[in-house]
Protein backbone atom coordinates (compact mmCIF):
# COMPACT_ATOMS: atom_id res chain seq x y z
CA UNK A 1 0.00 0.00 0.00
CA UNK A 2 1.45 3.34 -1.02
CA UNK A 3 1.68 6.18 1.43
CA UNK A 4 0.81 9.59 0.00
CA UNK A 5 2.97 12.38 1.35
CA UNK A 6 1.01 15.43 2.43
CA UNK A 7 4.13 17.59 2.38
CA UNK A 8 4.86 17.26 -1.32
CA UNK A 9 6.00 20.34 -3.22
CA UNK A 10 2.85 20.36 -5.33
CA UNK A 11 0.64 20.38 -2.28
CA UNK A 12 2.78 22.90 -0.44
CA UNK A 13 3.15 25.39 -3.30
CA UNK A 14 0.24 24.50 -5.57
CA UNK A 15 -2.62 25.38 -3.26
CA UNK A 16 -1.38 28.88 -2.37
CA UNK A 17 -0.61 29.60 -6.03
CA UNK A 18 -4.07 28.38 -7.03
CA UNK A 19 -5.68 30.40 -4.23
CA UNK A 20 -3.84 33.57 -5.29
CA UNK A 21 -4.81 32.93 -8.91
CA UNK A 22 -8.49 32.58 -8.03
CA UNK A 23 -8.32 35.68 -5.81
CA UNK A 24 -6.74 37.71 -8.61
CA UNK A 25 -9.36 36.45 -11.04
CA UNK A 26 -12.19 37.56 -8.76
CA UNK A 27 -10.67 40.89 -7.68
CA UNK A 28 -9.41 42.01 -11.10
CA UNK A 29 -12.77 43.60 -12.10
CA UNK A 30 -12.78 45.60 -8.86
CA UNK A 31 -9.18 46.69 -9.46
CA UNK A 32 -10.07 47.66 -13.03
CA UNK A 33 -13.11 49.67 -11.90
CA UNK A 34 -11.06 51.61 -9.33
CA UNK A 35 -8.27 52.18 -11.85
CA UNK A 36 -10.73 53.45 -14.45
CA UNK A 37 -12.33 55.83 -11.96
CA UNK A 38 -9.05 57.77 -11.81
CA UNK A 39 -8.81 58.10 -15.62
CA UNK A 40 -10.14 60.95 -17.71
CA UNK A 41 -13.13 60.22 -19.94
CA UNK A 42 -10.88 60.07 -23.00
CA UNK A 43 -8.45 57.62 -21.35
CA UNK A 44 -11.27 55.43 -20.02
CA UNK A 45 -12.72 54.71 -23.47
CA UNK A 46 -9.44 54.17 -25.32
CA UNK A 47 -9.24 50.66 -26.76
CA UNK A 48 -5.61 50.12 -25.77
CA UNK A 49 -4.59 48.91 -22.33
CA UNK A 50 -3.45 51.90 -20.25
CA UNK A 51 -1.83 51.33 -16.89
CA UNK A 52 0.41 54.39 -16.99
CA UNK A 53 -1.76 57.48 -17.13
CA UNK A 54 -2.09 60.78 -15.31
CA UNK A 55 -4.60 60.14 -12.50
CA UNK A 56 -7.35 62.66 -11.90
CA UNK A 57 -10.00 63.15 -9.24
CA UNK A 58 -12.38 64.97 -11.62
CA UNK A 59 -14.78 62.01 -11.72
CA UNK A 60 -15.21 62.09 -7.95
CA UNK A 61 -15.54 65.88 -7.97
CA UNK A 62 -18.22 65.57 -10.66
CA UNK A 63 -20.02 62.93 -8.60
CA UNK A 64 -20.21 65.05 -5.46
CA UNK A 65 -20.96 68.37 -7.19
CA UNK A 66 -23.43 67.42 -9.92
CA UNK A 67 -25.35 64.66 -8.17
CA UNK A 68 -26.90 64.41 -4.73
CA UNK A 69 -24.47 61.64 -3.83
CA UNK A 70 -24.46 62.14 -0.06
CA UNK A 71 -28.26 61.92 0.15
CA UNK A 72 -28.24 58.62 -1.74
CA UNK A 73 -25.35 57.29 0.36
CA UNK A 74 -27.14 58.32 3.57
CA UNK A 75 -30.34 56.59 2.40
CA UNK A 76 -28.37 53.41 1.70
CA UNK A 77 -26.73 53.46 5.13
CA UNK A 78 -30.05 54.10 6.89
CA UNK A 79 -31.75 51.30 4.94
CA UNK A 80 -29.00 48.77 5.64
CA UNK A 81 -28.79 49.64 9.35
CA UNK A 82 -32.59 49.40 9.75
CA UNK A 83 -32.72 46.09 7.87
CA UNK A 84 -29.92 44.69 10.03
CA UNK A 85 -31.58 45.82 13.26
CA UNK A 86 -34.95 44.39 12.16
CA UNK A 87 -33.32 41.08 11.28
CA UNK A 88 -31.57 40.90 14.64
CA UNK A 89 -34.70 41.84 16.59
CA UNK A 90 -36.72 39.12 14.85
CA UNK A 91 -33.99 36.51 14.37
CA UNK A 92 -32.33 36.35 17.79
CA UNK A 93 -35.52 35.56 19.75
CA UNK A 94 -36.64 33.11 17.05
CA UNK A 95 -33.29 31.30 17.12
CA UNK A 96 -33.33 31.20 20.92
CA UNK A 97 -36.86 29.78 20.94
CA UNK A 98 -36.06 27.13 18.34
CA UNK A 99 -32.83 26.12 20.07
CA UNK A 100 -34.02 25.91 23.66
CA UNK A 101 -37.76 25.25 23.30
CA UNK A 102 -38.24 23.26 20.09
CA UNK A 103 -41.75 22.46 18.97
CA UNK A 104 -43.05 19.97 16.43
CA UNK A 105 -42.84 22.62 13.71
CA UNK A 106 -39.22 23.60 14.45
CA UNK A 107 -37.73 20.99 12.11
CA UNK A 108 -40.13 21.98 9.32
CA UNK A 109 -39.34 25.69 9.78
CA UNK A 110 -35.60 25.02 9.70
CA UNK A 111 -35.95 22.92 6.53
CA UNK A 112 -38.02 25.68 4.92
CA UNK A 113 -35.34 28.24 5.81
CA UNK A 114 -32.64 25.99 4.36
CA UNK A 115 -34.61 25.39 1.16
CA UNK A 116 -35.03 29.13 0.57
CA UNK A 117 -31.24 29.46 0.65
CA UNK A 118 -31.00 26.87 -2.14
CA UNK A 119 -33.23 28.85 -4.51
CA UNK A 120 -31.54 30.78 -7.29
CA UNK A 121 -31.78 34.54 -6.83
CA UNK A 122 -33.76 34.91 -10.05
CA UNK A 123 -36.51 32.64 -8.71
CA UNK A 124 -37.03 35.09 -5.85
CA UNK A 125 -36.48 38.34 -7.75
CA UNK A 126 -38.74 37.76 -10.78
CA UNK A 127 -41.99 37.54 -8.78
CA UNK A 128 -40.98 40.63 -6.80
CA UNK A 129 -40.29 42.56 -10.02
CA UNK A 130 -43.70 41.61 -11.38
CA UNK A 131 -45.35 42.66 -8.12
CA UNK A 132 -43.51 45.98 -8.13
CA UNK A 133 -44.50 46.73 -11.73
CA UNK A 134 -48.13 46.28 -10.74
Query: What's the Rg (C-alpha) of the chain?
Result: 25
> Both 78 and 126 in a single domain?
no
Establish if 5 belongs to a structural domain: no
pLDDT in tens, 75-112: 999 999 999 999 999 999 999 999 999 988 999 999 99
Distance CA 128, CA 117 (A): 17
The Cβ-side half-sphere exposure at 91, using a 13 Å CA radius, reads: 8
As for how many domains the chain has, the answer is 3
User: Which range of residues forms the domain containing residue 96?
Assistant: 68-101
Distances (CA, A) of 105 to 90, 111, 112, 133: 18, 10, 10, 35
Q: Helix or strand or coil: residue 40?
A: coil
With cut-offs at 50, 70 and 90, classify the pLDDT of residue 53: confident
With cut-offs at 50, 70 and 90, classify the pLDDT of residue 12: confident
Amino acid sequence: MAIVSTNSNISRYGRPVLAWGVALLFFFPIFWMVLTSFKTDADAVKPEFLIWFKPTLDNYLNLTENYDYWRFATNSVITSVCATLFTLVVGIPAAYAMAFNPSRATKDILMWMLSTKMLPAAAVLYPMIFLAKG
